[in-house]
Amino acid sequence: MQRALLRLPRRRRFWSLAVCAAWPASSWVPSLAPRRVLSRCVAAKAEASDGEVPSAEVVLQQLEESGLFEGQEEMLLRLRMLAAQGVHPLDALRASRLQEEEPRDAVLESFDIEGVAKYMQASKCKNVVVMCGAGISTSAGIPDFRTPGSGLYDNLQRYNLSQPELIFDLAFFQSQPAPFYELCKELWPGTYRPTRAHYFIRLLEEKGVLRRCYTQNIDSLERQAGLSPEKVVAAHGNMDEAHVLDSVPERKVDIEDVRRAIFAGEEGWQALRQAHGGLVKPKIVMFGEDLPDRFWELQQQDLQECDLLIVIGTSLVVEPFAGLVGKAAPDAPRLLINREPAGTCEQRVFGFRFQLPEGDNWRDVWFEGGCDEGCHALAAALGWGEDLQRLESEAEAE
Ligand code: OAD
């Protein structure tokens, strides 16, 4: 995974899909950076901004020679790695300092679901951005990835992979396509039904407050729940479309043909490969691949203009998706609905602050529990309980 992390996409200066759990790129230079180092470096940056900014290499050398990082060599190494990815060391240090954000006035009356509901009603929220992950589909019967025991990555023994994430690795797929195709077969849309959490997101759209739903899920259940295509960004792709790998210009392949081939097993996908002169892949984003254009076109403005961010059912360890949390407008409340805390500011720049003592958190809430329960609780607090029930019953009746 480290290899994928370091591989820069050809077209953009953004990172391609990468797991950042082992060494969270999001931790940048962590908050353990001593204050004296930070203040000196930020002062250096301020001075430099009057004239020419010294190159990354010069700054790294000066930092090393200054001895400021003595005993913290790992930090220097991280700065070097970031510099190799095009992040200037002074910017990285500045970001880590900004992580020590000055406390602001609280934007919520209380740091719970009721507080979020009151905020939504009082501020007439119109631009809610939702970010979601595998946790919203587990109650539909689809396993998530990283929950120990039940998660997909703990249950791939039959494929004999040295690392579970290899199943979504582009280079691995090119050399051994069978495990990925097998997995597609298991997860092919149509087998599962949307959950209460999906219908809650649909309800946000019906109420006219949903700006966008960014999903990492490849099950297309957001669309199945009735969300409009323009409201959904499938950040990690899905199985709605397929193409011939590395075809320029892109050659799409009818998804029904692909489904039939995959369900026919190795014979089927080998025949498809022959017919199209290359491997055919459903458009799921793999590690080492760039995210869809739509993600890059919309994310910046959506997050800057959001008035509430709701993050549901994700461990927030895959970049660049996870980084969206830190891009939300600084005064926009952020609600995490998840069984475990994820994306906190100890793990990432501008991460959640709900775990900090009162005063250091002015906008973040963690609902510790199930995605469906959290969404139900928020709907009830908003007085939308019956509407949510109606959506679910209508879907059941279909
Ligand atoms: P993960 O499996 O990493 O995280 C799921 C999170 O949801 C965990 O924090 C769980 O504790 C939580 N969770 C699971 N079920 C829940 C429930 N019913 N209620 C509340 N919380 C629950 O899944 P993602 O974060 O979505 O990449 O994973 C991100 C990406 O990693 C995926 O998109 C996938 C994978 O490699 C691709 O498919 C390309």
- Identify which of 15-24, 173-182, 195-204 has the greatest average pLDDT: 195-204
pLDDT of residue 18: 63
pLDDT of residue 345: 84
Does ligand 1 lie within 6 Å of residue 270's CB atom? no
Q: Is residue 293 packed enough to be buried (19+ CB in 10 Å), middle (13-18) or exposed (0-12)?
A: exposed
Q: What residue's CA is closest to ligand 1, atom 37?
A: 236
CA-CA distances (angstroms) from residue 207 to 232, 262, 383? 16, 39, 12
Provide the pairing of β-strand 364-368 with 210-215. unpaired
Measured in Å, residue 355 CA sits from the centre of ligand 1 at 20
pLDDT tens for 217-246 read 999 999 999 999 999 999 999 999 999 998
User: Which residue among 17, 145, 154 is best mutated to probe the pocket of ligand 1, counting the most ligand atoms within 8 A of its Cβ?
Assistant: 145
Q: What residue's CA is closest to ligand 1, atom 19?
A: 370
**Rounded average pLDDT over 42-68:** 66
Ligand 1: nearest atom to the Cα of 133: 26
Q: In the predicted model, is pLDDT for residue 376 greater than 90?
A: yes
Strand ranges, E, within the chain: 18-19, 128-132, 210-215, 232-234, 237-244, 252-253, 280-284, 308-312, 318-319, 334-338, 364-368
Q: In the predicted model, is pLDDT for residue 22 greater than 80?
A: no
Q: What residue's CA is closest to ligand 1, atom 6?
A: 314
pLDDT of residue 333: 97
Q: What residue's CA is closest to ligand 1, atom 35?
A: 145
**Which residues form the catalytic set?**
236
Q: How confident is the model at residue 117 (pLDDT cuts 50, 70, 90)?
A: very high
Ligand 1: nearest atom to the Cα of 370: 19
pLDDT of residue 72: 67
Does ligand 1 lie within 6 Å of residue 313's CB atom? yes
Does ligand 1 lie within 6 Å of residue 144's CB atom? yes
Does ligand 1 lie within 6 Å of residue 16's CB atom? no
Does ligand 1 lie within 6 Å of residue 239's CB atom? no
Does ligand 1 lie within 6 Å of residue 139's CB atom? yes
Ligand 1: nearest atom to the Cα of 168: 39
Does ligand 1 lie within 6 Å of residue 133's CB atom? yes
Q: Is residue 81 packed enough to be buried (19+ CB in 10 Å), middle (13-18) or exposed (0-12)?
A: middle
